């Protein structure tokens, strides 16, 4: 009986995912764009001390990884960069992706341009929507976070981090685009390195920021579709180009 | 003596404007883009009742002008739409532009693409930066407002209104673009009609919204340059186009 109940649950989940995917396809009918349905995850941490080490070091002009431990024996080891959990793991940068996939079950998608469809935008803050994006020979982490900076006024913050060093990150430009209801909002920037804390990028507000009313205007039936494109950055075009 | 003092003051003002203009030219070196230096104005009103009539009527499905008076004898008369002052003036839509220029001294600029350079971004909220923009046979009002929705956390709101009817406004698309420090933020939307309240557009957050840290990243020495472009809107391109 339990087996049949579980089977029925799995079928329902499949139907739900199929429906979300169909909805996304309807919204993003452009051929060749991969639509990825991303379900929310309630964040299990938001330790204010998580970035203390980074901030202190940044003030001294050094850019260290986001350490959880005071003493790191091997300077090439980086801590787990998953923004969801306070995870004690640390390892080499090359194995961060497999750690994120295996331990934190973060999906990875291929393609220069994809659509990130975050579902259930109404869920209370703090909530995160996370995927990895493999493109141009590198892996990127896209984080959409619903957070209350001012009590009772949740905002949405979206940013892209390269799973690589800050020097490597400088070679790329990422674009996040929202397009609905005769409104379009585009954010373009150089991705930050995963060695910088995603928490501090978001708390600095140096990312795409949406208030609740804009998020509602751009979302369709509780889901927010964000078009993502990554390019290699040329010498930055003159800032005058508008 | 007073005459000489005034002359000296005027010369200083000219030097200051020339310096701002030079600075803007340096930032926006693209040929042919008109740079307009816009000085801030402290708003003399923010009467919460200003939009009450509009909101009540909108809830009933009617879109009236933003009335200050309960009884309007001629339905073709519109009130003063200047967001700075509670002005008792009302007149026909065709003469709103000359009223704004003559009474409120709002500058008017020509050209499809201009750069709006708002100075003194550090001034405390509430502050407005306003110009009119003449383009494609119509006049538009650009409003940048610094306002505190949450105490102690000022934000910047920018929107464009057509000095015309909502039906006319639907024929256009406006774009506001910020571009500095390897970051680019673009907002595109249909302008709202001046018959709708600029206050309610801003309080709804249906416009370009910047928190203080983003405004600082995009500003140069206390001035924020916003590239403005207006186009006639085709049948809105499929929302899938990203």
pLDDT tens track for A169-226: 999 999 999 999 999 999 999 999 988 888 888 888 899 999 888 999 999 999 999 9
Extract the tokens encoding A115. 């659509």
The tokens for A134 are 């493999």
**pLDDT 10s digits, B119-154:** 999 998 888 899 999 999 999 999 999 998 888 889
Contact A240, B178 (CB under 8 A): no
Residues ≥6 apart with Cβ < 8 Å to A79: A65, A66, A67, A68, A69, A87, A89, A90
Distance from CA of A85 to the nearest CA of B (A): 27
Cβ-nearest to B217 among A27, A184, A206: A206
Say if residue B16's pLDDT is above 60: no
pLDDT-derived band at B93 (thresholds 50, 70, 90) equals: confident
Percent of chain A with pLDDT over 90: 35
**Residue length of chain A:** 242
User: Are A184 and B185 a contacting pair at CB < 8 A?
Assistant: no
Whole-complex ipTM: 0.75
Cβ-nearest to A217 among B183, B188, B206? B206
Residues in chain B: 242
- Taking an 8 Å cut-off on Cβ atoms, the answer to whether A29 and B240 are in contact is yes
| Average pLDDT, integer, range B34-57 | 55
Global pTM value: 0.75
Contact B229 A239 (CB under 8 A): no
Structure tokens at A228: 């993502």
CA distance A238 to A189: 14
Q: What value does the mean pLDDT take over residues B150-173?
A: 92
Q: Contact A27/B239, CB-based, under 8 Å?
A: yes
Given a cut of 90, is residue A78 above it in pLDDT?
Answer: no
Beta-carbon contacts of A118 under 8 Å, excluding residues fewer than 6 positions away, are: A38, A40, A129, A144, A223, A224, A225, A226
Q: Which residues of A touch B27 (CB under 8 A)?
A: 239-240
Q: Nearest CA of chain B to the CA of A9: how many Å?
A: 32
């Amino acid at each position: 009986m339990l087996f049949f109940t579980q089977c029925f649950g799995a079928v329902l989940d499949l139907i739900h995912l199929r429906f979300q995917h169909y909805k996304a396809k309807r919204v993003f009918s452009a051929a060749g764009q991969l639509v990825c349905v991303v379900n929310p995850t309630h964040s299990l941490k938001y330790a204010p001390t998580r970035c203390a080490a980074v901030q202190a070091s940044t003030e001294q002009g050094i850019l260290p990884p986001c350490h959880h431990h005071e003493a790191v024996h091997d300077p090439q080891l980086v801590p787990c960069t998953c923004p969801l959990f306070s995870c004690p793991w640390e390892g080499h940068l090359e194995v961060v992706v497999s750690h994120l996939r295996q331990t934190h079950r973060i999906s990875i998608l291929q393609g220069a341009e994809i659509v990130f469809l975050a579902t259930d935008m109404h869920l209370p803050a703090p909530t995160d929507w996370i995927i990895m994006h493999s493109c141009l020979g590198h892996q990127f982490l896209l984080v959409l976070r619903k957070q209350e900076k001012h009590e009772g006024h949740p905002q949405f913050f979206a940013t892209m981090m390269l799973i690589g060093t800050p020097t490597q990150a400088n070679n790329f430009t990422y674009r996040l685009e929202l397009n609905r209801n005769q409104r379009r909002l585009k954010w373009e920037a150089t991705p930050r390195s995963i060695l910088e804390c995603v928490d501090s990028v978001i708390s600095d507000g140096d990312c795409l920021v949406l208030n609740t009313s804009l998020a509602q205007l751009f979302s369709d039936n509780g889901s927010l579709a964000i078009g993502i494109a990554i390019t290699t950055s040329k010498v930055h075009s003159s800032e005058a180009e508008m």
